[in-house]
């Protein structure tokens, strides 16, 4: 199949807003597609190439803007895939230059529309209103198999392309080969948010409350002495966390799959900040050098498989029992089972006092909903707010032509002026975007390519979860997960919170 055929379907998908119609366009394409190209095109339609990230980012792509497009389409899907393969294989000195040359050559053979598609694909912003979810529906429609069955197979396979090939070529019965088994990581279950523990308990009834640790999600697979550790995105990270391998090897089970969190702990049993955990997690070099001073500890909270039996369809209560029977208590997340809101609230307070992020509240009857934001898991995190001054805004956002991304500043009561603490666009409705665009242009005192700087007069109430060290901002501090709650028309810049206040919060640990 030609690239142009895929591009035209992508355009048709982007043009319509209806999910059913998007699905139909994609299903038609899948039906026409030669079976040996399913593995290439399905990832394209889900928004990323088969090869994953291949070392091409925004800077490289924006340097390609001058390439004149071809007059007529000639690229085959296979040509593109082969070029991506070559790009992915490049490394070492001079690789950036040769990568740039190969990409230039590819884009030079593409029409304007094809160039546009390839650039968005490589940048990871296809924006056709259909990613994996819609593609799953399309596979279902094209194969005549139920969407739930396809979705489940994708969660277990971790990859829609192989499921598409099986469904379209071999049919329904062949999907049964997608089962949970060791060393085939499954997409982790995700959680919804709740405002507080009492709210979560009243939603879920009998529940287990767990410390929510601010580390990195891990899925650990063990068969006999062989252990592999996967990240939330199913990336294999075994080499980064030898401590986890040691703990897993010691578990008395022939085969087991566990879900948990890896975090750097202090000797006194309190957690390091997330930034410190990240110095270890994801590191491949010098792991042994950092290990003595910065050990990583796994804390497990779920068991997905044990000695030949998949547990994902078992209720949480049974999965917990099997977990605690096999794993030492020091490697299980602290937890309490209760339906009593007061007891739950006390446990949550204890989690925060120990320095943790908050708690998870989970229904005891819940199944493990792989890859989904299950309604049976609720996270409760502590947030606080500051009144900050808007220093500037950037041209970007949901609707082009609005000033959306806000620069947030705290008042510097000692030296005068304001100290920038980060940016946010979150929490802004379409209505607020329209209002602030007008307002900020009236307050403009200067601009550059993307930014309008304004007189520091507008105050917003900004929620955040943590204050963290920053090498980017002049005060050396930045807000984590900042979002706008509301504008404070009743406050002037002189009423805004001061940088000294933020420094004090950071010193105490922003969660205490």
**Contacting DNA within 31-50 (CB under 7 A):** 47-48
Q: How far is the CB of 93 from DNA (least distance, A)?
A: 4
Give the residue with the Cβ less far from DNA, 59 or 329.
59
485 is catalytic: no
Q: Which of 22, 212, 379, 423 is catalytic?
A: 212
Q: How far is the CB of 18 from DNA (least distance, A)?
A: 5
Among 190, 223, 345, 443, binds DNA (CB under 7 A): 190
Contact criterion met (CB below 8 Å) for 210 and 320 = no
Give the residue with the Cβ less far from DNA, 215 or 409.
215
Among 268, 414, 431, 490, binds DNA (CB under 7 A): 431
Among 4, 40, 56, 323, binds DNA (CB under 7 A): 56
How many residues interact with DNA (rule CB under 7 A)? Answer: 93
Whole-angstrom Cα distance, residue 494 to residue 110?
56
Residue 453 main-chain phi, psi, to 5 deg: -90, 140
The yes or no reply on residue 291 touching DNA (CB under 7 A) is: no
Query: Three-state DSSP class for 61?
Result: helix
Question: Tokens 């979002």 map to which residue?
Answer: 483
| From 34-42, 173-181, 283-291, 451-459, span contacting DNA (CB under 7 A) | 283-291
Q: How far is the CB of 240 from DNA (least distance, A)?
A: 8
Give the DSSP letter string of 123-167.
HT---SS-SHHHHHHHHHHHHT--HHHHHHHHHHHT-HHHHHHII
The yes or no reply on residue 65 touching DNA (CB under 7 A) is: no
The yes or no reply on residue 158 touching DNA (CB under 7 A) is: yes
- Cβ neighbour number for residue 207 with a 10 Å cutoff: 27
Give the residue with the Cβ less far from DNA, 480 or 491.
480
Continuous segment of H or E residues that includes residue 245: helix 242-249
The yes or no reply on residue 165 touching DNA (CB under 7 A) is: no
Nearest-5° angle of CA 423, CA 429, CA 432? 80
253: tokens are: 């089970």
**Contacting DNA within 209-228 (CB under 7 A):** 214-217
| From 11-19, 76-84, 314-322, 331-339, span contacting DNA (CB under 7 A) | 11-19
Strand partners, 236: 230
Whole-angstrom Cα distance, residue 504 to residue 166?
58
Give the residue with the Cβ less far from DNA, 2 or 483.
483
The yes or no reply on residue 195 touching DNA (CB under 7 A) is: no
- Cβ neighbour number for residue 303 with a 10 Å cutoff: 28
Whole-angstrom Cα distance, residue 69 to residue 52?
25
The yes or no reply on residue 483 touching DNA (CB under 7 A) is: yes
Among 2, 326, 335, 372, binds DNA (CB under 7 A): 372
Give the residue with the Cβ less far from DNA, 138 or 168.
138
CA 209 to each of CA 174, 273, 512: distance values in angstroms, whole numbers, following the listed order: 40, 22, 20
66: tokens are: 């001058």
Whole-angstrom Cα distance, residue 137 to residue 76?
26
Among 31, 270, 328, 375, binds DNA (CB under 7 A): 375
Q: How far is the CB of 325 from DNA (least distance, A)?
A: 26
Among 39, 69, 73, 133, binds DNA (CB under 7 A): 133
The yes or no reply on residue 134 touching DNA (CB under 7 A) is: yes
- Cβ neighbour number for residue 23 with a 10 Å cutoff: 23
The DSSP output letter for 405 is E
338: tokens are: 């209760």
| From 324-332, 334-342, 347-355, 389-397, span contacting DNA (CB under 7 A) | 389-397
**Contacting DNA within 441-470 (CB under 7 A):** 463, 465, 468-470
Burial of 116 (0-12, 13-18, 19+ CB in 10 A): middle
**Contacting DNA within 390-409 (CB under 7 A):** 394, 396-398, 404-405
Q: How far is the CB of 512 from DNA (least distance, A)?
A: 19
- Cβ neighbour number for residue 17 with a 10 Å cutoff: 8
Among 131, 317, 336, 493, binds DNA (CB under 7 A): 131
Question: Tokens 């199944």 map to which residue?
Answer: 367
Among 146, 171, 269, 282, binds DNA (CB under 7 A): 282
| From 296-304, 345-353, 416-424, 501-509, span contacting DNA (CB under 7 A) | 416-424
The DSSP output letter for 271 is B
Continuous segment of H or E residues that includes residue 121: helix 112-123
Give the active site residues.
212
């Amino acid at each position: 199949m030609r690239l142009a055929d895929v591009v035209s379907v992508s355009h048709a998908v982007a043009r319509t807003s209806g999910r059913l119609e998007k699905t139909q366009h994609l299903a038609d394409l899948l039906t026409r597609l030669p079976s040996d190209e399913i593995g290439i095109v399905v990832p394209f339609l889900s928004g990323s190439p088969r090869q994953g990230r291949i070392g091409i980012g925004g800077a490289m792509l924006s340097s390609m803007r001058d390439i004149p497009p071809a007059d007529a389409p000639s690229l085959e899907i296979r040509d593109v895939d082969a070029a991506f393969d070559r790009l992915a294989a490049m490394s070492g000195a001079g690789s950036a230059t040769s990568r740039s040359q190969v990409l230039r050559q590819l884009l030079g053979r593409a029409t304007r529309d094809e160039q546009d598609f390839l650039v968005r694909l490589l940048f990871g912003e296809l924006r056709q209103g259909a990613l994996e979810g819609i593609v799953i529906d399309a596979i279902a429609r094209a194969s005549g198999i139920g969407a739930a069955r396809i979705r489940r197979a994708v969660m277990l396979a971790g990859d829609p392309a192989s499921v598409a090939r099986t469904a379209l070529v071999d049919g329904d019965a062949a999907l049964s080969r997608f089962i949970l088994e060791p060393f085939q990581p499954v997409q982790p279950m995700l959680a919804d948010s709740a405002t507080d523990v009492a709210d979560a308990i009243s939603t879920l009834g009998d529940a287990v409350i767990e410390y929510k640790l601010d580390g990195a999600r891990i899925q650990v697979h063990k068969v006999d002495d062989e252990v592999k550790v996967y990240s939330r995105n199913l990336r294999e990270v075994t080499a980064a966390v030898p401590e986890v391998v040691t703990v897993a090897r010691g578990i008395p089970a022939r085969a087991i799959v566990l879900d948990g969190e890896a975090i750097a702990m202090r000797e006194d049993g309190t957690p390091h900040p997330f930034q410190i955990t990240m110095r270890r997690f994801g590191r491949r070099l010098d792991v042994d050098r950092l290990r003595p001073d910065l050990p990583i500890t796994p804390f497990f909270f779920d068991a997905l498989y044990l000695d030949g039996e998949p547990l994902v369809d078992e209720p949480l209560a049974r999965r917990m029992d099997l977990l605690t029977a096999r794993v030492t208590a020091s490697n299980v997340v602290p937890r309490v089972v209760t339906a009593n809101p007061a007891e739950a609230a006390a446990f949550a307070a204890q989690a925060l006092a120990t320095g943790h992020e908050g708690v998870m509240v989970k229904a005891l009857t819940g199944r493990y909903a792989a890859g989904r934001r299950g309604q049976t898991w609720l996270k409760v995190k502590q947030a606080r707010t500051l009144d900050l001054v808007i220093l500037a805004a950037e041209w970007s956002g949901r609707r082009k032509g609005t000033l959306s991304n806000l620069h947030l500043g705290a008042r510097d009561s000692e030296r005068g002026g304001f100290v920038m603490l980060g940016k946010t666009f979150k929490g802004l409705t379409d209505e607020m975007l329209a209002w602030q665009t007008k307002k900020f242009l009236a307050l403009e005192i200067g601009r550059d390519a993307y930014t309008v700087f304004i007189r520091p007069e507008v105050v917003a109430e900004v929620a955040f979860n943590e204050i963290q060290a920053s090498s980017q901002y002049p005060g050396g501090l930045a807000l984590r997960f900042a979002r706008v709650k509301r504008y404070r028309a009743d406050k002037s810049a002189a009423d805004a919170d001061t940088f000294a206040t933020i420094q004090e919060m950071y010193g105490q640990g922003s969660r205490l």
